[in-house]
Structure 1
Amino acid sequence: MKQISIIAATFSGNRGAEAMLCSTIARLRDRFPDSIFNVYSYYPNDDRLIIRDSKINIYNAAPMVLVFKIFFLSIPVWFCRLLKLNILTKYFPRSLRSLSSSDVLIDLAGVSFIDGREKFIPYNILSILPAVIMGIPVVKFSQAMGPFKSKINRISANYLLKKCDAVFARGEITEEYLQSLNLKSSICHSAADVAFLHESKDGLTHENEKYVSSIVSKLKKLKKKDRMIIGLCPSSLIAQKSRKSGWDYIGFLQDTVKLLNEKGYSVIMFPNATRDYDMAHLRNNDLPVILSVMKNISGSENIYVDRNINSVSIKSLISMCDVTVVSRFHAMVGSLSLKIPVMVLGWSHKYLEVMGQFGQEKYVFDYKKTDRDYLWLKMFDLIDKRKKESLKIGNRLNTVKKSSYSQIDYVIRLLNK
């Protein structure tokens, strides 16, 4: 029986992380059905409320716990193993015992070691350092990394990534950044995001499913009236960033909905991060943004999500759309995996390098640098060309999925050694 530990992803909150987590567990279970999965979550209490799987253990990996419990105690665990005093490890916390007895640690951070995000570097380090100390193989699944011009970022990434068994770059831009670190070729690999392997059967939570079914029914009725449906997925992160930069993101989204309505289109506004029990905060929670956008917009042609839904439900809503306009990375991945043409309003290279794999880079825009009129022009251009772009996406999808599976295959081979 294999014991597989996973860190830097949660079942609740960020639904892109949930999609990666569920996809990873499902594809490894295809090969190792009796495996035990240890999920180190920064929302452990929330995750425990929605996961009812006896072979999934959820442990606390909040930053302070990582520092004062898992990291510091990993050193004496290593010492006990070195002296062959394994009997003493039973006195350590269960979370640490599970990690120390794991066959592999999979890091599912969507982004790590990126210049300008130096405040997250300690978490990037502590997510994998305890496993490195205890001699557990570490595999960083497909993610965006770099650039590494910042001294602290470059030193941290250079040291930690060299300690990993494998590091998977999510696209060509990340590959180029990693090359600047001169890592061994045996460590550096490339793979598409693991969420491209996500299937509807992979869901591990059941959240407001009747509510989602009612929304899907409304969308089907609109389609019967020959209404085209445009999906909008905002980002609470960009809402926060744009507020600081003085750009009215909420106003832009409101005007976008109104403009689409004027042109005869219906709108479904959906989240890709939800915490409906914590509406006062925006972290990993797009719901307050959706409510702010839709509060002054009426009409049965517009539908929006106002509560927790999981990644399976999100994809069911995306599947009803003719085109999507998104600011969340995994809403983009969900659209591409369903061959739905998508326009992205984002903030880093992570969007561009994935859209480029489908020949869709012309529909990726930096929220800080693009004029709203130009964005609307490109949105309607995509709507006009949706059938052509959908075919282009479909022609490349199998290749991307094969690329995505390569990281699963790597772990399978590692576990079979």
Structure 2
Amino acid sequence: MQQNKLTVEVKGISFANRGAELMLSAVKEQFMRRGIDAHIVVEPNGNYIRRCRYEVWQKPQLILKRVNVLKPLAWLPKSLRRRLGIITDSEIDVVLDASGFSYGDFWPHKVAWDRLAKPIKQLKRRGVPVIVLPQALGPFTHTASAKPFRRILKYADLIFARDAQSLSYARALSCRSDNLFYCPDFTCLVAPQGIPELTPPKNAVCFITNEKMAATAERKQAYLDWMISLVQATLRSGHQAYFVNHGGSADATLAQHIIASVGAPVALLEAENAKQTKWLIGQARVVVGSRYHAVVSALSQRIPVVATSWSHKYQALLNDYESSESLFACDETDAASARLNKLLSDNALYEREQQKLQICAEQQKSLSEAMWQQVFELLEDQKL
């Protein structure tokens, strides 16, 4: 690979939740492990302070009402752009899409167009490798969502679907068979970072909220009732509970509402970065959650979960860790509470669960390592 600094754009990183940060950490670590000096570039979305911690460069792109309001910054002299930490499209050597879950009927079709479908043809004219890292995809039942992703499938060098259902959705659209592969979520490779000054209660249950579970008033109430019941079940069992904020202010507000409803001293913890958040999750006996990467962080650290969801990606994830019996709808409060109580009271069952998760986690990490090997072989072949 070339000795000059490589400029790598990572698309889809919003810093709106810790999952996006974990994916960015995973990308940075893979380049560092291979001794590749890289400028990592993102669009200036989300929290500025969080972006600064990751030492990323910025693209002058912020789409408001289909207009890039930062485009004039690209016209500045290169020396001034460098002082401001700005990288333009013409300076990008590699594009990695780490959207997580942004392509399909759930999302406005303009997201796919603006993020990748529109620029991808020009990127390929310039010889820039475009790689869609493992993520959930689809469904694509509407023409508006299918058309931009069909274009991405046509031009991308590599596309990794994160689960079998996503792979099936993508295959149904694709005119190619040589660039579409399966690989599970790759944040399992990111090691947690301890926080000496912040220690969660021992042998406790960690709860993690997700605002997407409260998209409508009806769903919100069902979700809150489900979470409140499980916190109460935890406390009745003699175990402590704590919340970890894996998202933004909306997730924190949900957690505070649940804590107030329970009326017991339950802490809400928030770490400075995603690796520390992963460590907080790993200190629990059981994790109750509905944030995808929070569930990954638990399972990959051998922590059993009780999960609820809003998308097919959760079922696929739990299948990967042979834990499908731990996924519940919000109207299955009794069954979820029973599963939680079993994990808290039956030590033999708990040990079996941890042994199973250890084997599954090793398999998931091996698949992710193979995916990265494929990515860097492509970059090597293109003499980057």
Which band: TM-score by shorter chain?
0.7 to 0.9
Q: How does 1:1-150 map to 2 (within 5 A)?
A: 1-10=5-14, 12-43=15-46, 45-51=48-54, 53=55, 56-59=56-59, 61-64=61-64, 67-68=67-68, 98-115=88-105, 117-119=106-108, 121-128=109-116, 129-135=118-124, 136-150=128-142
Aligned position for 1:335: 298
Q: Which residue of the partner structure matches residue 238 of structure 1?
A: 213
- Whether contact under 8 Å (1:146, 1:177) holds in the other structure is yes
Q: Which deviations, in whole Å up to 9, do the C-alpha atoms of 1:359-406 show, x marking residues without a partner?
A: 111212344xx3322222233244433221111111122221121123
Q: What does 1:378-389 correspond to in 2, within 5 Å?
A: 378-383=339-344, 384=346, 385-389=349-353
Contact 1:145 1:174 in 2 (8 A): yes
Q: Which residue of 1 aligns with 2:259?
A: 294
Q: Distance in 2 between matches of 1:404 and 1:66?
A: 35
The alpha carbon displacement at 1:261 in A equals 0.8
Partners of 1:154 and 1:237 in 2: CA distance: 23
Q: 1:187 maps to which residue?
A: 179
Alignment partners' CA distance in 1, 2:258 and 2:295? 20
Q: CA deviation at 1:133?
A: 1.7
Is 1:404 equivalent to 2:362 in the alignment? Answer: no
1:361 to 324, 335, 357: 324
Note if contact 2:326-2:339 (Cα within 8 Å) is conserved in structure 1.
Answer: yes
Q: 1:269-284, aligned counterparts within 5 Å?
A: 269-274=243-248, 279=249, 282=250
- SS of the equivalent of 1:27 reads helix
Rounded to whole Å, the distance in 2 between the matches of 1:299 and 1:214 is: 23
Kindly tell me the number of residue pairs found equivalent between the two proteins: 367
Query: Which amino acid in structure 2 is aligned with residue 336 of structure 1?
Result: L
- Supply the distance in 1 between the matched residues of 2:47 and 2:263 (Cα, whole angstroms): 38
Give deviations 1:317-369, integer Å, cap 9, x for gaps. 122211111110011010011011112111111111121111111212344xx
Partner of residue 233, structure 2: 259
Q: Aligned with 2:43: secondary structure?
A: strand
For residues 162-241 of structure 1, the aligned pairs below 5 Å read: 162-200=154-192, 213-216=196-199, 219=201, 223=202, 228-241=203-216
Deviates more, 1:154-163 or 1:347-356: 154-163
For 1:317, the aligned partner's letter is L
Secondary structure of the residue aligned to 2:272 is coil
Read off the aligned partner of 1:294 and give its amino acid letter: I
Residue 223 of structure 2: aligned partner: 249
1:357/1:255 CA distance change after superposition, 3 Å: closer
Counterpart Cα distance in 2 of 1:309 and 1:362: 33
> C-alpha displacement at 1:214, in angstroms?
4.0
Secondary structure class of the residue paired with 1:312: helix
Which amino acid counterpart does residue 361 of structure 1 have in structure 2?
A: S
Percent identity of equivalent pairs: 22
* Contact 2:163 2:183 survives alignment (8 Å): yes
Is 1:374 the counterpart of 2:335? The answer is yes
- Is the 2:61–2:68 contact (alpha carbons within 8 Å) kept by the matching residues of 1? no
Structure 1 residue 20 displacement after superposition: 0.6
Q: 1:289 to 1:44 in 2, by over 3 A?
A: closer
Residues 304 and 379 (structure 1), Cα distance of their counterparts in 2 relative to 1, 3 Å cut: same
Rounded to whole Å, the distance in 1 between the matches of 2:161 and 2:32 is: 24
Residue pair 2:6, 2:36 contacting (<8 A) in 1 also: no
Q: Does the CA contact (< 8 Å) of 1:40 and 1:60 recur in 2?
A: yes
Q: Tell me, what secondary structure is at the counterpart of 2:141?
A: coil
- CA shift, 1:100, in A, is 2.2
Aligned-pair CA distance for 1:112: 2.6
Q: 1:159 to 1:273 in 2, by over 3 A?
A: same
Q: Structure 1 stretches (4+) deviating beyond 4 angstroms?
A: 87-97
Q: Residue 359 of structure 1 aligns to a residue in which SS?
A: coil
Q: Which runs of 5+ in 1 are unaligned?
A: 78-86, 202-208
The aligned counterpart of 1:83 is none
Q: Which runs of 5+ in 2 are unaligned?
A: none
- Would the aligned equivalents of 2:104 and 2:146 in 1 still touch at CA under 8 Å? no
